[in-house]
């Protein structure tokens, strides 16, 4: 109440004989309390002979702290009297309250306090200290805070999740997007053309949880139309099928009507977009087909060279470019006349236009003008038995 003026108090319409009311004392310029009974007696004495009270109204105020209010009583006979009420003194403004939070890693004792801490630590830790005060600066005394365990103890390691049971069921449906609501079967049912086979997998885990997943596939629809012949072989009697044997699809000397062909040395034929030389090779007229293919293979390999893999040497190209370091790669059956070149620079792209390759007996060499300072990768292609060209 010390911080409130009389105007801040709740207005009352009545008062009892034992209630205390605040009045001003002119003698010592102070506020005093008066019992309700005393005020009633004074008012009764004042009213005697005046025929009752017509009104009571505040007629003036004076002062600031305290404020003194003057009230005028008007009686039924038109006479008046006054009395004053002095408001209580307004109290001083209270100090600004503050709450301080600090953290510590460990506390001991009763009550607990940190064994080590920093008064400036504000990052969360295992223990929290809470303090209050009126200063904007947090206290630096550890005992100015009450300490509480903020972080719980590490829990026990949980049981690793594991599948306890797995159940797979099947059901046919005409929809490929809506899970069917019928009965699921443990065996794969017959599915009509264009319909869908749904597979439901239910996994039960050791913690009591269940995971259900679905997969769906569509049954194909037979194509329309009919086939009359294949390689001049007609439809089997009484069916829509055509049965072929190896003799029906092997090369032969009979030329189907209206087919442009080329004939090999043995009288066998193939479509005209294959040359006679190619047909001879494939059909065996020029020897074993494996030998033919092997003799014409082009080889590709990647070569990675560390900085220590280069050997000093000298090679001068036809244009006069000098190369001073080489790296050798062994190749079975390679001769000095075989074809070899670089197809892709890889990580050696910095040597673009500044390298050379050389085929030798049983090997080839990659030449560079200066010794590389880092590992490089070269993509080399070569053909044993193919004369190198420039």
Domain ranges of the chain: 6-86, 98-149, 163-175+189-218, 249-295, 299-387
| Integer Cα distance of 87 and 21 in angstroms | 11
| Integer Cα distance of 246 and 289 in angstroms | 20
| Integer Cα distance of 59 and 73 in angstroms | 10
| pLDDT for 172 | 95
Residue 121 and residue 100 in contact, taking contact as beta carbons nearer than 8 Å: no
- pTM of the complete model: 0.27
- In the structure, what pLDDT confidence band is assigned to residue 349 with cuts at 50, 70 and 90? low
Share of the chain above pLDDT 70, in %: 72
Does 305 have pLDDT greater than 60?
yes
What does the DSSP 8-state code read for residue 6?
G
| pLDDT for 290 | 43
Does 292 have pLDDT greater than 60?
no
Mean pLDDT for all residues in the chain = 77
Give burial (CB, 10 Å; 0-12/13-18/19+) of 114.
buried
Which range, of 40-44, 290-294, 319-323, averages the lowest pLDDT?
290-294
Residue 59 and residue 72 in contact, taking contact as beta carbons nearer than 8 Å: yes
| pLDDT for 385 | 57
- Kindly state the average pLDDT of the residues 98-112: 86
């Amino acid at each position: 109440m010390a911080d409130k003026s009389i105007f801040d108090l709740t207005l009352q319409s009545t008062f009892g004989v034992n209630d205390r009311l605040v009045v001003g004392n002119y003698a010592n310029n102070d506020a005093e309390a008066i019992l309700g009974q005393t005020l009633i007696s004074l008012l009764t004495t004042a009213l005697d002979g005046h025929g009752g009270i017509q009104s009571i109204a505040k007629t003036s105020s004076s002062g600031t702290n305290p404020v003194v209010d003057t009230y005028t009583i008007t009686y039924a006979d038109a006479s008046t009297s006054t009395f004053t009420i002095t408001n209580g003194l307004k109290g001083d403004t209270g100090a600004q309250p503050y709450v301080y939070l600090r953290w510590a890693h460990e506390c001991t004792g009763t009550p607990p306090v940190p064994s080590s801490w920093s008064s400036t630590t504000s990052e969360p830790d295992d223990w929290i200290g809470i303090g209050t005060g009126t200063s904007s600066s947090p206290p630096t005394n550890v005992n100015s805070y009450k300490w509480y365990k903020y972080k719980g103890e590490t829990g026990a390691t949980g049981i690793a999740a594991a599948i306890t049971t797995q159940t797979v069921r099947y059901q046919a449906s005409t929809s490929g997007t809506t899970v069917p609501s019928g009965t699921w079967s443990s065996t794969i049912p017959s599915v009509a053309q264009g319909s869908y086979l749904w597979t439901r997998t239910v996994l039960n885990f050791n913690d009591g949880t269940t995971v259900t997943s679905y997969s769906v596939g569509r049954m194909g629809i037979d194509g329309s139309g009919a086939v009359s012949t294949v390689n001049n072989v007609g439809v089997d009697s009484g069916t829509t099928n055509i049965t072929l044997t190896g003799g029906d699809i092997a090369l032969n000397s009979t030329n189907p009507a209206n087919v442009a062909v080329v004939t090999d040395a043995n009288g066998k034929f193939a479509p005209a977009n294959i040359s006679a030389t190619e047909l001879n090779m494939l059909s065996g007229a020029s020897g074993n087909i494996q030998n033919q293919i092997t003799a014409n293979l082009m080889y590709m390999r990647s070569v990675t060279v560390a900085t220590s893999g280069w050997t000093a040497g000298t090679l001068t190209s036809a244009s006069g470019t000098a190369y001073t370091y080489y790296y050798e790669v062994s190749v079975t059956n390679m001769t000095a006349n075989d074809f070899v070149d670089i197809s892709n620079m890889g990580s050696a792209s910095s040597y673009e236009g500044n390298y050379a390759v050389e085929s030798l007996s049983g090997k080839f060499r990659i030449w560079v003008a200066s010794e590389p300072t880092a590992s490089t990768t070269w993509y080399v292609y070569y053909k044993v038995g193919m004369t190198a060209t420039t």
